[in-house]
Amino acid sequence: MVALVTLHRALRAVVLASGCFAGALGAQGLPSIERITFDVADAFERGAAVVGELRIPPSTRERLPAVLIVDSSPGFDGRGGFYAEALNRASIATFEVDMFQGRGLPATTRHNMPHTYQSLRFLAAHPRIDPARIGIMGFSYGGMLALLTSSEELTRKFSPDGRRFAAHLPLYPICWRHRTVLDGTSTTLRPSVYRRVTGTPVHILAGAKDDYGDPDTCEKFVADLPADVRPHFDVTVYPGATFAWDSRFGSVVYEAGARQGKGGMVTVVADADIANRSRDFAVAFFTKHLGAQ
């Protein structure tokens, strides 16, 4: 475990160092890249903080749309950067955040709601970002946050200033857990969470061979939403895609949350073709809903 944490920190340092180098080349057409760190107010744990990489592409426009990219427990593992580079080429700024810094996942997603909405407020206050055109995407646990932030109830609770995301793109967000919210069996979230949403578009990307749930788990989740909420949600399921198809490497590990919470092995197959398709989808989705040009 110590070795894994050390490796994680080393990889993160390499990513951030390379980002600083790229930022120095911004005048040549690459995005400016800045490391951001801030403490999180009203968090559930002491010393809560967000470490992030803000990338602002060169543009003659005074204010740009932006996407908050929420990592999962590995932090900066290459997935966020893979999407950020493509979004930057489409004149969309990105803010990739690591909320865990090697500590692992918290007990519930509610622990990271303050991190998520404070990151939104940070972007909204930035002089180069249009506060009305900020989207969110995330992977796995980060995808769960990208999905939950569509809730009107949670947005009112954790964003008292009224800030909300303009578009949501959750990637493999373990949809069976969200179905437990709808049917009242979740131990951490009330069924009311998805009864009202902010009304901004939500599109889930899922894999047909995701070992966390059935091939149609995310489609079932959307079908179970209240009738007036359902039109704001869409799902794309990639045939043949496993959980985390856009990872840099494959793996097979035991996860207690696999098989609808029954536990089992989770297989990850890194698939470059599907990864490119999901990246292209992300660019098209946010270009459309954030008004990027």
Topology (CATH) of 2-290: Rossmann fold (3.40.50)
Closest by alpha carbon to 247, among 174, 139, 144, 95? 139
3-state SS class at 241: strand
- Give residue 283's pLDDT band: very low, low, confident or very high (50, 70, 90): very high
Q: Give me the residue label for tokens 């990246």.
A: 279
Question: Is the separation of the CB atoms in 211 and 258 below 8 Å?
Answer: yes
Q: Chain-wide mean pLDDT for the chain?
A: 88
d(CA 200, CA 146): 12
Q: Give me the residue label for tokens 């989770």.
A: 266
Q: Is the pLDDT of residue 77 over 50?
A: yes
Q: Is the pLDDT of residue 2 over 50?
A: no
d(CA 216, CA 176): 10
Q: Is the pLDDT of residue 12 over 80?
A: no
Cβ burial, residue 265 (10 Å; 0-12/13-18/19+): exposed
Question: Which residues, in sequence order, are CB contacts of 125 under 8 Å at separation 6+?
Answer: 131
Residue with the bigger pLDDT between 51 and 1: it is 51
**Ranges assigned E (strand) in the chain:** 32-39, 49-56, 64-70, 93-98, 129-139, 167-171, 202-209, 233-242, 251-255, 264-268
Q: Is the pLDDT of residue 14 over 60?
A: no
Sorted by where each begins, the domain ranges of the chain are 2-290
